[in-house]
Amino acid sequence: MADPDVFMHRLNPDMCVVTAAVGDERSGCLVGFASQCSLKPVRFMVWLSKVNHTYRVARHADCLAVHLLTREQYETAALFGGETGDRVDKFAGVPWTRGHGGAVVLEEAAAWFVGAVLERVDGGDHVGFLLDPVEWGERRAGPLLRLGDALAIDPGHPAD
């Protein structure tokens, strides 16, 4: 039987930054596993690695913010994908504001939404957060950052 990577390596999904906040604690990470999963009602699923600081904050959050970046925003992607909130305040040099439910919204994202967490689903080494979009915005045009654009970013935490 063929290796599943024969299929998976052909995918080139949009990358997004997911942020979570609970009280004064905030975190964010670069995510490649995310998709709209329902039309009526609109629902979106993001998958966070259990080893990430963002997951540890998100598991207690009522809302998450999901941000799309353009290819020109590689440095922001590298910050949220290549650093860990265990050691670095990723928000120190990035303009952000509070959104619905206290969510952290990156002010320079190409597009974003805040979603209320409806469910958490254990998927193995990642947990899926089913989101109900409640607030959104768009700020910047241009081709979106995709997985192929972000391959050189070494993750802040190893996958296993």
Give, for all 160 residues of the chain, the pLDDT tens digit. Answer: 567 677 777 776 788 999 999 999 999 999 989 999 999 999 999 999 999 999 999 999 999 999 999 999 999 989 998 887 778 889 998 999 999 999 999 999 999 999 999 999 999 999 999 999 999 999 878 888 777 777 767 676 565 5
pTM above 0.85, yes or no: yes
Per the CB < 8 A criterion, the answer to whether 118 and 133 are in contact is no
Beta bridge partners of residue 35, listed in sequence order: 45
Is 76 buried (19+), middle (13-18) or exposed (0-12) by CB count in 10 A?
buried
Among 132, 4, 112, 110, smallest CA distance to 63 is for 132
The full DSSP string for 13-45 is PBPEEEEEEETTEEEEEEES-EEEEETTTTEEE
Tokens read off for 141: 């045009």
Give dist(CA 96, CA 92) in Å, integer.
9
Report CA torsion sign: 42, 14, 83, 140: negative
Give dist(CA 150, CA 70) in Å, integer.
11
Query: In 3-state terms, what secondary structure has residue 70?
Result: strand
| 155 half-sphere exposure, CB direction, 13 A CA radius | 15
